[in-house]
Amino acid sequence: MTESSELTEQPLDLLYSETEDDLRAAVRALLADRAGHQALLGRIETDSPYVPGLWKSLAGDIGVAGLLVPEKLGGQGASHREAAVVLEELGRAVTPMPYLTSAVVATETLLALEGENDAAAGLLADLAGGRTVVALAVPLSTAPDAELPLGERVAAVADATAADAFLVLRADGLYAVPADEATVEPQTPLDLTRPLAAVTTGAGSGARLAGPGPARAAVRRGLLAGAGLLASEQLGLAEWCLEETVRHTRERHQFNRPVGSFQALKHRMAQLWLDLVGARAAARAAADALATGSADAPLIVAVAQAYCSRTAVRAAEECVQLHGGIGMTWEHPAHLALKRAKSDQIALGSTGRHQDAIAALVGLAPPA
Amino acid sequence: MTDAEELRVRTRKLLDEHPPATTDRTDFLRARFDAGLAWVHYPVGLGGLDAPRALQTVVDAELAAAGAPDNDPRKIGIGLGMAAPTVLAHGTDEVRRRFLRPLWVGEEVWCQLFSEPGAGSDLAALATRAVRDGEDWVVDGQKVWTSSAHTARWAILIARTDPDAPKHRGITYFVCDMTDPGVEVRPLRQITGEAEFNEVFLTGVRIPDAHRLGEVGDGWRVAQTTLMNERVSIGGARIPREGGMIGKVATTWRERPGLRTHELHRRLLDHWVDAEVARLAGERLRQQLVAGRPGPEGSAMKLAFARLNQAISGLEVELLGDEGLLYGEWEMRRPELVDFTGRDAGYRYLRSKGNSIEGGTSEVLLNIVAERVLGLPPEPRNDKDVAWKDLAR
């Protein structure tokens, strides 16, 4: 028999619970109130696109920073399923927010070290309370199964300018380095809502959290959770793109009809909706597989990434095209979604990398 | 309200009173129907118990574990999936009692006389005429793409009863006796070489008025019950990972390294991802149905599988190279069951071309998604308020 048929199929819960729906409503209301697209357009060319006070409201008041962290470590004791719902909303609103980077990737990395080290536990408690923002010092493009960088200078680290500390992988293990001991050089990102910077940390700076073996495993686990939940961000973003496009084409008249009544346009939007049906199933599957610690998680995460990356980019591209001229302007928020979607396509592993991972996991080897 | 435990008790009682090992298959199925365990969401007395549909799985699991025979639903899909819901929703008590039991048991096969050579996507333009004659209707016309017509005892039929009304308003829905001497069935050969379907010629076919479903002129609305259920039944099945066509091509890929190329590898992985996501979407739809929260996602499944099946089977023919040049056999056969994945890659490639045509073309389904799910405005149309007889043909 083949490898794939040996993989036992986990019973995945692909629906949303009532708690998850409530959490979504709370996050959506907060973002609509404080971080609308027009507010973002006014901030993205300033020194910091992050809306002041928003992280405190979301992380502290609603308590989303500690969703992955067990209650005994100061968190909410929820799971990846709830964090995924938060990311759907952050994707919808294209909110600049160190959530995926800090509350998912860095937090999951530290969770993998639970019991290894008291410093990790302390950092987790601060993360869970929303008091500290931590970024894993790897390029945003790093896939869960990629070769991990060990140099002193790491470029394209996401949300580095918002971080209070960095997790730095070195040959001898994983270090926590306070931001004031690091040099952070902002870069100009394609996606202005997710700031990137080169982070340089001197050898020997910071405190060692784990030795080389556990460190690599922990970082991979952090990146896997990040990749799996990025699918939910992409889903939310794609949903917003389709909704805005439908709204626009119902209202916009040319040739004495709403342009949305032309079959050529309707079919494109209907096709996008079909892709979203798939993306929602894939993103939910990834979140549930991570939440339950399923052995299938690496495969399902790769599937969700390969699919949702493509869906988000196409939704954003269609959003620009079907808006016509207005979609090409800076004042319309479609470009925020396009730039986020295109950047997300590379983030945490490109489609090709995820497909290569799938090929290896299910035994579909390339030609010799 | 019937709960799972009560259903288990009833099922065990059925098994005690009619042990499958020593009971004739038809007798067992009749007893199951009479016990209300055929389709539990149907009314009491018509094979059901007015129970939630999701509880059917409880009964099915008990019966399967006891080795009880089933009604071979694949062979009577049109009866179960289309005729039965329509008879239930629109038939008189007498009609429901006459038809539902032999339909479910499989003693009487049903077919569907809807599509016509001149009425495919525009089904409401159909031209088969039904004219009132005393207590009967007399039907003349031609239907096409009728599976099981050669084995069917009954048909659901829509025909035009008022040519002066606009097309949607002049249609009436009937149950047609396929043994009427005016019914002639001819096989319709497809591009695969087989004939799964038939053409049906109706010449002076007499239908008693008692076999009309719904009001005269209300047949289009009645037909919506049938067509809604058709799409549910096509999209509703549960599939294991690598089930369906992707499993065939993945197996070939693993077993025959000599056929591999880089370009095919990339496409295979694209399709593998799409197939796995479609499987998850189908599973999500199933969970929504079980939770009593059906969404519009069902129409997405048929569209997704049509596109996938075509893409994957096309890839498979290419992958096979020299063998892809060959075809099993072209001899005309009349298969008893529709078979999408059986036979060879060439057959799968050709048969899957029908997936985006049968049961609503993908183009029409995209219109439906756009208008009913997304709420986009309809195309302007010029056929709604014109008498059927004045439409261009």
Interface of A with B in 291-320 (CB under 8 A): 303, 306-307
Supply the pLDDT for residue B226.
81
Closest Cα of chain B to A4: distance in Å? 8
The CA distance from B264 to B270, in Å, is 10
Backbone dihedral angles phi then psi of residue B111, each to the nearest 5 degrees = -135, 175
- pLDDT category of residue B393 using cuts at 50, 70 and 90: confident
- pLDDT category of residue A6 using cuts at 50, 70 and 90: very low
Over range B211-229, report the average pLDDT. 91
Tokens representing B344?
């060879």
- Through-space distance between the first and last CA atoms of chain A, rounded to whole angstroms: 21
Backbone dihedral angles phi then psi of residue B139, each to the nearest 5 degrees = -110, 130
Closest Cα of chain B to A208: distance in Å? 40
Instruction: List the catalytic residue out of B230, B255, B318, B336.
Output: B230
- pLDDT category of residue A367 using cuts at 50, 70 and 90: very high
Supply the pLDDT for residue B109.
97
Single-letter residue type at B241:
R
Q: What residues form DSSP beta bridges with B116?
A: B119
Q: Name the residue with tokens 């002041």.
A: A52
Supply the pLDDT for residue A105.
98
Contacts of A13 in chain B (CB under 8 A): 287
Over range A6-11, report the average pLDDT. 52
CA B258-B261-B265 angle, to 5 degrees, is 115
Supply the pLDDT for residue B230.
57
Closest Cα of chain B to A52: distance in Å? 36
Chain B contact for A153 (CB, 8 A cutoff): no
Per-residue pLDDT reduced to its tens digit, B86-127? 999 999 999 999 999 999 999 999 999 999 999 999 999 999
The CA distance from A331 to B346, in Å, is 53
Contacts of A296 in chain B (CB under 8 A): none
Cα–Cα nearest to B37, from B76, B82, B71 = B71
The answer to whether the Cβ–Cβ distance between B367 and A284 falls below 8 Å is no
- pLDDT category of residue B229 using cuts at 50, 70 and 90: low
Do strands B110-113 and B129-133 pair parallel, antiparallel, or not at all (unpaired)? Answer: unpaired
Supply the pLDDT for residue B234.
40
Per-residue pLDDT reduced to its tens digit, B311-358? 999 999 999 999 999 999 999 999 877 777 778 999 999 999 999 999
Supply the pLDDT for residue B235.
40
pLDDT at A10 over 90: no
- pLDDT category of residue B238 using cuts at 50, 70 and 90: low
User: Which sign, positive or negative, has the C-alpha torsion B117, B118, B119, B124?
Assistant: negative
Supply the pLDDT for residue B53.
85
Beta-sheet strands, E only, within A147-302: 153-158, 165-170, 173-178, 182-187, 196-201, 207-210, 253-254, 257-258
Contacts of A312 in chain B (CB under 8 A): none
Contacts of A15 in chain B (CB under 8 A): 284, 287-288, 291, 293
The answer to whether the Cβ–Cβ distance between A277 and B260 falls below 8 Å is no
pLDDT at A2 over 80: no
Closest Cα of chain B to A195: distance in Å? 31
Supply the pLDDT for residue A213.
94
pLDDT at A262 over 90: yes
pLDDT at A303 over 80: yes
**Out of B251, B272, B277, closest to residue A281 by CB:** B277
**Out of A12, A261, A282, closest to residue B377 by CB:** A261
Over range A54-80, report the average pLDDT. 94
Cα A21 vs. chain centroid, distance in angstroms? 19
Cα–Cα nearest to A149, from A140, A138, A136, A157 = A138
Per-residue pLDDT reduced to its tens digit, B262-278? 999 999 999 999 999 99
CB atoms within 10 A of CB A321: 14
Tell me which chain B residue has its CA closest to the CA of residue A296.
Answer: B241
Query: What percent of chain B is predicted at pLDDT more than 90?
Result: 83
Of residues A118 and A221, the one with the higher pLDDT is A221
User: DSSP character for A183?
Assistant: E
Chain B contact for A15 (CB, 8 A cutoff): yes
Closest Cα of chain A to B47: distance in Å? 31
Over range B209-219, report the average pLDDT. 97
The CA distance from A348 to A139, in Å, is 9
Asked if A368 and B265 count as a contact pair (C-beta separation under 8 A), the reply is no
The b/e string for B21-50 (b: 16+ C-beta within 10 A; e otherwise) is: eebeeeebbbbbbebbbbbbbbeeebbbbe
**Out of A246, A269, A355, closest to residue B273 by CB:** A355
The answer to whether the Cβ–Cβ distance between B283 and A12 falls below 8 Å is yes
pLDDT at A4 over 50: no
A29 contacts: CB under 8 Å, gap ≥ 6: none
**Out of B265, B280, B378, closest to residue A281 by CB:** B280
The answer to whether the Cβ–Cβ distance between B265 and A271 falls below 8 Å is no
The answer to whether the Cβ–Cβ distance between B291 and A359 falls below 8 Å is no
pLDDT at A134 over 90: yes
Q: A with B: how many residue pairs have Cβ under 8 Å apart?
A: 140
Contacts of A280 in chain B (CB under 8 A): 281, 284
Per-residue pLDDT reduced to its tens digit, A202-233? 998 999 999 999 999 999 999 999 999 999 99
Tell me which chain A residue has its CA closest to the CA of residue B378.
Answer: A261
The answer to whether the Cβ–Cβ distance between A263 and B257 falls below 8 Å is no
Contacts of A363 in chain B (CB under 8 A): 254
Supply the pLDDT for residue B178.
98
Cα dihedral: A312, A314, A317, A318 (round 10): -110
**Out of A258, A269, A274, closest to residue B303 by CB:** A274
Decide if B230 is catalytic: yes
Per-residue pLDDT reduced to its tens digit, B151-205? 999 999 999 999 999 999 999 999 999 999 999 999 999 999 999 999 999 999 9
Contacts of B241 in chain A (CB under 8 A): 4-5, 7, 9
The CA distance from B238 to B120, in Å, is 29
Over range B64-73, report the average pLDDT. 94
Chain B contact for A360 (CB, 8 A cutoff): no
Q: Given the cut 0.85, state whether the ipTM is greater than it.
A: yes
Closest Cα of chain B to A320: distance in Å? 18
Tell me which chain B residue has its CA closest to the CA of residue A361.
Answer: B269
Tokens representing A312?
């988000």
Per-residue pLDDT reduced to its tens digit, A141-172? 999 999 998 889 999 999 999 999 999 999 99
The answer to whether the Cβ–Cβ distance between A15 and B288 falls below 8 Å is yes
The answer to whether the Cβ–Cβ distance between B283 and A14 falls below 8 Å is yes
Backbone dihedral angles phi then psi of residue B253, each to the nearest 5 degrees = -60, -45
Contacts of B369 in chain A (CB under 8 A): 270, 273-274
Supply the pLDDT for residue A104.
98
The answer to whether the Cβ–Cβ distance between B367 and A263 falls below 8 Å is yes
The answer to whether the Cβ–Cβ distance between B303 and A261 falls below 8 Å is no
Asked if B343 and B328 count as a contact pair (C-beta separation under 8 A), the reply is yes
Over range B19-36, report the average pLDDT. 96
**Out of A269, A280, A285, closest to residue B370 by CB:** A269
Closest Cα of chain A to B75: distance in Å? 29
The answer to whether the Cβ–Cβ distance between A278 and B274 falls below 8 Å is yes
The answer to whether the Cβ–Cβ distance between B369 and A270 falls below 8 Å is yes
Q: What residues form DSSP beta bridges with B112?
A: B156
Asked if A161 and A55 count as a contact pair (C-beta separation under 8 A), the reply is no
The CA distance from A169 to A105, in Å, is 14
Tokens representing A75?
């968190």
Backbone dihedral angles phi then psi of residue A64, each to the nearest 5 degrees = -85, -15
A contact test, residue of B238, B242, B266, B269 with most A CBs within 10 A? B269
Do strands B183-188 and A196-201 pair parallel, antiparallel, or not at all (unpaired)? Answer: unpaired
Closest Cα of chain A to B294: distance in Å? 12
Region of poorest pLDDT, from A248-252, B171-175, B293-297? B293-297
Backbone dihedral angles phi then psi of residue A52, each to the nearest 5 degrees = -60, 135
The b/e string for A59-70 (b: 16+ C-beta within 10 A; e otherwise) is: beebbbbbbbbe
Contacts of A368 in chain B (CB under 8 A): 257, 260
Over range B22-31, report the average pLDDT. 96
B contact test, residue of A254, A277, A309 with most B CBs within 10 A? A277
The CA distance from B180 to B139, in Å, is 11
Supply the pLDDT for residue A92.
98
Supply the pLDDT for residue A88.
98
Asked if A321 and A327 count as a contact pair (C-beta separation under 8 A), the reply is yes
Query: What percent of chain A is predicted at pLDDT more than 90?
Result: 92
**Out of B251, B284, B369, closest to residue A273 by CB:** B369
The whole-chain average pLDDT of chain B stands at 93
